[in-house]
Structure 1
Amino acid sequence: MKKFLSSVLVAILLMVSLVTGVSFGSPAQGSADYIEGQLVVSLEEPFMDSSQSVDDILMEADSLTESGFTIADSLFGQDAGSFSVQSLDSDVRATAIEKMGLVYLVEYSVEDYKSIDSAKISLEKTLDNLGFNVRYVTENRKMYALETATVQDVSPQDIHNNQRWHYEMIKVPQAWEITTGSSSVRIGVLDTGIDSNHPSLKNLVNTSLGSSFVGGTTSDGNGHGTHVAGTIASYGSVSGVMQNATLIPIKVLNDSGSGSLYGVQQGIVYAANIRADVINMSLGGGGYDQGMDEAIQTAVGLGTIVVAAAGNDGLPKISYPAAYSSSIAVGSVTSSRTRSSFSNYGPGLDVMAPGSSIYSTYKNGQYTTLSGTSMSTPHVTGVLGLMRSVNPNLSPAAAGDILRNTAQPAGSSDQYGHGIVDAHAAVLAAGSGDDTQAPSAPDNLISTDITDTSVSLTWSASTGNAGITAYEVYNGSSLAATVTTTSATVTDLTANTTYTFTVRAIDAAGNQSAASNAVTVTTDSGSSQPSPTTHWDPGMSYKIGDEVTYGGATYQCLQEHISMAGWEPLNVPALWLEK
């Protein structure tokens, strides 16, 4: 089985060890971020009126050979003697090809082409001349990561105590009162493999279902994949978020933590084919890649939930593959519920989970503490596994909505996405209403702005077992608005009319709270006539057209404002015009 991954590097979003620290390696300045001599190409599946397959045509095409190109591997090929072919179920293969096209790894001699761009152009032209519709030709990208971690021999009780803060933060113990997981839930761990003989993992790891796309077995000589797996599900000296699951080692990174985007695509399609409930990708590399995007879309379309690490650069930009719209992007928080300094943030961030100083299983039957979004991501994967345990038919879209809607508020959406994951609330919501306890009623409802046609309201947040997903604003007994924040503006009102508003909270299980305190307001008259002339005073609210007297003169307001000492009409001509 051919493998062309040994020189390809995809960055594991690995870990800042709080014991010794981590140094991250990067390519030398000016070096390429792709594998020289390799391209990935996708072709539209043609209508074939002969017994020859596309693979056969490409392998036998003299024009490809004459142009210096060799078909090195086929993602969906049927010739197991030539390619690292996967035996895919017919429905999975058809779905994947429809979404991704026919994907090939192509090799060429760098001595034949001055640049990768010239190689791309030549390959596309050659394939076009062969009658194929080329969807894309791209480089096989690479990135580097170098981590150093100290393996600690810690007593079981120490390890368990050190896990306590992050599981309590995301309310795992409460979720365990509902479910601790199920062996029927399959978790695909796309990583460096898993130590299947680890005393806290061996009863959960299914190596028969596993596969390696970097050569060799699915064993873990790095430790990263084993650490990730132990956070998802483990037992004994440590505990994962799940205490029962089927962990499937899908090795897409070698023992140095290296792999390729092409290899990760293979792993994603493989995981979808074996009906993995959730894929965990604590890895990253390169920018946007159409093939990777389509692989994730294919898996999600087949019912597999995809979770990925947001990145460890501390930048306001989510890394790929977490940045793909079909992935659930996970950032990291510390034990004080603040964003870890290394955690990426910004648009596209879904939820946060503990990722600083995380105890878990490690290679060779050991345990250690590591940090990174690589460590926060498996917390969320484990929660999703618990959700699938109580609701095996939960769709990826519904699962993502529940995670986001039940997350615990933590700060701005830019820094924290929808908040810190709440395992208990998410499992309750996934279980379709096992919780019947209503959330607390909103309080401190006040009006903040009134016009002739609208009223703006704010209130204090409610709390509840299952997490608050919405607030309903009522005008008397009529529903006037539904919002997800603690403020709302009710519009289309009638001028000079009195209204009474209340607010009720809705939790993830569908329970409705009692009504908040009532607020009665009267809309403005809507008259365009200015207010009667009054004496100017500080601390008053003035709107355009208001007239005041000051120092024996009359002034007209030019800009809406609240007056302050020192802003007398005579002193602030930008606000007042003397008549």
Structure 2
Amino acid sequence: MWRYLSSISLVLGLGIVLFPHHSNNENTPGPEIYSAKYETDQKLSLLQQDVKLTDDLCRSQCSIDYTKMISQIESGESAAQVLGDMKTQHEKMDILIWSKNKQTLDQGIKVGEIPSSYKEQASTYLAEAKAATESGKHYQSPKFGAAQQVFFVQGTPSTDGNSSLIGVIHQDILHQVTDHQMKNLRLEPYPNENRWKVESVDTDTLKDKVVDHPEDNQGTSHYHQNEVVVKFKKDPTDAQLSQIKSEIKANSMQKLGYTYVFRTEGMEAKALMAYFKKWDVAYVEPHFLYLTNDYYDDQEEADNKDSSDYTDSTDTTSPDETTSIAPNFKPNDNLYSRYQWNLPLIETEQGWQVNRGTKDVIVAVVDTGVDLQHPDLKDKLLPGYNVISGDDKPQDDVGHGTHVTGVIAALVNNNLGVAGISWYNKVLPVKVLDQTGAGSTYSVAQGIIWAADHGAKVMNLSLGNYADSGFLHDAIKYAYDKDVALIAASGNDNTERPGYPAAYPEVFAVAASDSENNKAPFSNYGDYIDVTAPGVSIASTYPNNQYAALSGTSMASPHVTALAALIRSTNPNLKNTEVYQIMRDTAQDIGTKGHDKYFGYGLIDVVKAVQKAEEQPSIGFDWPSHWFRQMNLVSKKYAGVVMQTAK
């Protein structure tokens, strides 16, 4: 029973990096990669680079937005209306001023304001921007301000040279990305947000543990202080349930299938687990805590619809599913060529020549929800589910799920932002973590089951923990038995401890690599790893119509999820096990020859995978490989070798 205390903190696996420099081109990680100092130094360096790249993404997108506004105004639209619409759609545009040459900024058409404490600095840069644009030059100031109040000034001259658009842009996204990555890369201690009553134990000794320093998180489990999860061998009667609730003084009980979550203020988890020994249970375990830590204000949500009422909306800017594209095709998404190194690396463009997806193969993203109004995503989203609040839409109030979804399904060739890997597969967003980034095993399991019951054929799980939870595994097996291809991030602790759900035999586990096909310094590893995908400084969608660069196995996993969707779109008759085997068989071997614990079978190859799916409609399941993987995991588990998972 106590094996379930082995470890958790199911944390969304984000990480960080830009384009790291390496002393050599060796793909096999050296011993220094696994030292604590090396890992921490690399993470800090990568954090700084990701923030810098996010700043660059923000500035590039703002320049594009300014050009669009100028075009609208010069075509005869009301300047006040154009500026007002942009500010409504992009809250980061604090001030926008349309000004004629020789006219002061105060005389121009203006919308918005900034905090008074930064007006003096802003005024200096606004004056510089005015002078630059009147001489026909584009202008961007350095950053100014601090923490969440960081800004820059931008100026763009009109095409006729008689006017200019000048404004102040709020870059609170830089603080958000920094905060997000500090926590998810375990660069600061486990954050008890005063939202949950949480206990922590050491994985190996099972003793209570206080987490005061970043290194304390590795090998630590976090669970609800006064809750347990119980699966009975036989469903208890109403009388038995009443007896149980009375004896433990339960103040709540939730049920999912044959599994119950009991909560009481009078007993702690260990005492509750001891109590249930007298009942005929299949297992009793702590109620583990799953979390990510990032904060955003809610955005306006999309119109609510039932799945049965969903009507597909065709992307009018892209070729349809049957239209061919040129052999040398490059998408026109305006951030693609400069920032999306990851898609060409895995042969995505060549893969698009074979198949670009289909709306009939639905991809579930079980995460923090999705920004339902993001212009690069909203036409690809199905009505999903919010497990946290039940009836509310799965609006992302954290940011993680929006970023993951963009990797999979950002609209392609729409002259906007980034390109996803799939052009046509629809995304089913399932919100299982709340606005603090925290959620329970119950929520995650419920989200997995709901998605499997509502048409998902591929599922992304960019989350994980170090506890072998029977409750979570039951949900995974339920979806797997319904032929869902389950893809999960391995984690960001640079550890060999197996994490779950990635290490379950039913799940396809993903490690992260960088732009030079080296192991990402944060990426977990082990014999359970199936493949590797890019996970370093991945540009993708972010809440409030923004774009950000994040790194981690959470970013690697959706690359593989999108590939699984393309494979199933190419050949809908393939079973989940066959999809897994195609991705293993076609991966580029980038580490030690054959399967290895750092890269699995290698880096995914989109074109080879979809070609194999097209050429071999039914390859059959490789039972020897599957059997070996399962037996290897079992032998390690019961030989007392405790490994780890995705954070």
Verify same fold: TM over 0.5: yes
Quote the offset at 1:44 in angstroms: 2.2
Instruction: Say which SS state the counterpart of residue 277 (structure 1) adopts.
Output: strand
Alignment of 1:282-361 (within 5 A): 282-361=462-541
CA contact (8 A) 2:294 2:399 kept: no
Please say if 1:138 is aligned against 2:291: no
The residue aligned with 2:12 is 12
Quote the offset at 1:321 in angstroms: 1.4
CA distance in 2: counterparts of 1:264 and 1:143, whole angstroms: 8
The residue aligned with 2:461 is 281
The residue aligned with 1:426 is 609
CA distance in 2: counterparts of 1:255 and 1:174, whole angstroms: 39
The residue aligned with 2:443 is 263
- Residue 231 (structure 2) aligned to one of 25, 42, 53: 42
**Counterpart code for 1:212:** V
Alignment of 1:160-559 (within 5 A): 160-207=336-383, 209-213=384-388, 216-235=392-411, 236=414, 237=416, 238-412=418-592, 413-433=596-616
**Counterpart code for 1:108:** T
Name which structure has the greater RCO, CA cutoff 8 Å, separation 6+.
2
- Residue 106 (structure 1) aligned to one of 238, 255, 262: 262
Quote the offset at 1:396 in angstroms: 1.1
Quote the offset at 1:220 in angstroms: 0.7
Quote the offset at 1:293 in angstroms: 1.5
Instruction: Say which SS state the counterpart of residue 177 (structure 1) adopts.
Output: helix
Quote the offset at 1:143 in angstroms: 5.3
CA distance in 1: counterparts of 2:375 and 2:239, whole angstroms: 50
Instruction: Say which SS state the counterpart of residue 392 (structure 1) adopts.
Output: coil
Quote the offset at 1:315 in angstroms: 1.6
Instruction: Say which SS state the counterpart of residue 72 (structure 1) adopts.
Output: strand
Change (3 A) 1:422 1:148: farther
The answer to which of 221-230 and 14-23 deviates more is 14-23
Instruction: Say which SS state the counterpart of residue 138 (structure 1) adopts.
Output: strand
CA distance in 2: counterparts of 1:397 and 1:225, whole angstroms: 26
CA distance in 1: counterparts of 2:454 and 2:291, whole angstroms: 30
The residue aligned with 1:498 is none
Change (3 A) 1:304 1:143: closer
Deviation sequence 1:224-255 (CA, Å, 0-9, x none): 10110010112132211101111111001112
CA distance in 2: counterparts of 1:322 and 1:63, whole angstroms: 34
Instruction: Say which SS state the counterpart of residue 280 (structure 1) adopts.
Output: strand
Change (3 A) 1:148 1:345: farther
Q: Structure 2 regions of 5+ residues with no counterpart?
A: 1-7, 17-46, 52-177, 192-208, 212-220, 297-331, 623-647
Change (3 A) 1:214 1:124: farther
Quote the offset at 1:428 in angstroms: 1.2
Instruction: Say which SS state the counterpart of residue 217 (structure 1) adopts.
Output: coil
Change (3 A) 1:121 1:181: same
CA distance in 2: counterparts of 1:281 and 1:390, whole angstroms: 23
Please say if 1:73 is aligned against 2:243: no
The residue aligned with 1:23 is 182
CA contact (8 A) 1:391 1:431 kept: yes
Change (3 A) 1:66 1:290: closer
Change (3 A) 1:63 1:414: closer
Number of aligned residue pairs: give it: 380
CA distance in 2: counterparts of 1:145 and 1:206, whole angstroms: 24
CA distance in 2: counterparts of 1:163 and 1:382, whole angstroms: 19
Quote the offset at 1:178 in angstroms: 1.2
CA contact (8 A) 2:366 2:460 kept: yes
Structure with higher strand content? 1
CA contact (8 A) 1:359 1:367 kept: yes
Quote the offset at 1:123 in angstroms: 2.9
CA distance in 1: counterparts of 2:540 and 2:562, whole angstroms: 13
CA distance in 2: counterparts of 1:176 and 1:165, whole angstroms: 16
Structure with higher helix content? 2
The residue aligned with 2:633 is none
Quote the offset at 1:275 in angstroms: 2.5
CA distance in 1: counterparts of 2:518 and 2:9, whole angstroms: 31
Change (3 A) 1:259 1:162: farther
Change (3 A) 1:145 1:275: closer
Alpha-carbon RMSD: 2.5
Change (3 A) 1:185 1:323: same
Instruction: Say which SS state the counterpart of residue 445 (structure 2) adopts.
Output: helix
Change (3 A) 1:322 1:162: farther
Deviation sequence 1:143-198 (CA, Å, 0-9, x none): 5544599xxxxxx8652114542111111111111111111111110001011211
Instruction: Say which SS state the counterpart of residue 285 (structure 1) adopts.
Output: coil
CA distance in 2: counterparts of 1:118 and 1:377, whole angstroms: 38
Q: Greater CA radius of gyration, 1 or 2?
A: 1
Change (3 A) 1:315 1:432: same
CA contact (8 A) 2:408 2:562 kept: yes
Deviation sequence 1:443-477 (CA, Å, 0-9, x none): xxxxxxxxxxxxxxxxxxxxxxx9xx9xxxxxxxx
Quote the offset at 1:71 in angstroms: 4.8
Quote the offset at 1:62 in angstroms: 3.4
Change (3 A) 1:362 1:58: farther
The residue aligned with 1:515 is none
Change (3 A) 1:148 1:316: farther
Deviation sequence 1:354-375 (CA, Å, 0-9, x none): 1101011111111111111110
The residue aligned with 1:458 is none
Please say if 1:121 is aligned against 2:274: yes
Instruction: Say which SS state the counterpart of residue 452 (structure 2) adopts.
Output: helix
**Counterpart code for 1:325:** P
CA contact (8 A) 1:142 1:286 kept: no
CA contact (8 A) 1:26 1:145 kept: no
CA distance in 1: counterparts of 2:474 and 2:448, whole angstroms: 10
Change (3 A) 1:261 1:162: farther
Instruction: Say which SS state the counterpart of residue 253 (structure 1) adopts.
Output: coil
Change (3 A) 1:255 1:372: same
CA contact (8 A) 1:33 1:141 kept: yes
CA contact (8 A) 1:23 1:148 kept: no
Instruction: Say which SS state the counterpart of residue 278 (structure 1) adopts.
Output: strand
Q: Structure 1 regions of 5+ residues with no counterpart?
A: 1-7, 47-53, 77-101, 150-155, 435-465, 470-579
CA contact (8 A) 2:224 2:269 kept: no
Give % identity.
32
**Counterpart code for 1:311:** G
CA distance in 2: counterparts of 1:163 and 1:58, whole angstroms: 59
